[in-house]
Amino acid sequence: MKSGVDYVGVGIGVMILKDGKVLLHKRKNIRGDGMWALPGGHLEVNEGFDDCAKREINEELGIDIKPIKVITVSNDIAYGVHYVTIGIMAEIISGEPKIMEPDKCSEIKWFEFNKLPENLFNPSKSIIIQYKDGSLGKHF
């Protein structure tokens, strides 16, 4: 498949659950502007998945998390880029989520799984669908 991009990036999407709800943020001024997504970001050179998840969540939401496990891996070619996206399940260990990067995020909200917004960012949608339908690791 020819996508017009010349590199593959690695992204981390972090699924944080609380009282049966998932935490999403609305993207702003970045790919997928106006779409709801799991918080996360780009894996840096020499960084482990768990360290990336902790760093990104602290930068974006001002909270500390404990990554529990990798729950999905997907190959995402969308929005003019190509990423391998690692879905990580995590729990909050301290803090209350707040917008720390208002130039990249306009809103954060807890959503019930049966009342998710329609405009989900594709990589996040893949992680959530695989989690919801129990097909983890079956989508390539």
Tell me, what's the pLDDT at 137? 56
State how far the Cα of 67 lies from the Cα of 54, in Å rounded to an integer: 7
Q: Whole-prediction pTM value?
A: 0.91
For residue 125, the SS3 value is helix
In this prediction, what percent of the chain has a pLDDT beyond 90? 78
In this prediction, what percent of the chain has a pLDDT beyond 70? 93
Q: Residue 7: pLDDT band by 50, 70, 90 thresholds?
A: confident
Q: Does pLDDT of 139 surpass 50? A: no
Per-residue pLDDT tens over the stretch 81-125: 999 999 999 999 999 999 999 999 999 999 998 899 999 999 999
For each of the domains in the chain, give its residue range(s) and CATH number, in order of start.
Answer: 9-133 (3.90.79.10)
What is the SS3 string spanning 22-79? EEEEEECCCCCCCCEECCEEECCCCCCHHHHHHHHHHHHHCCEEEEEEEEEEEEEEEC
**What average pLDDT does the structure give for the chain?**
92
State how far the Cα of 5 lies from the Cα of 113, in Å rounded to an integer: 33
Phi, psi at residue 46, to the nearest 5°? 65, 25
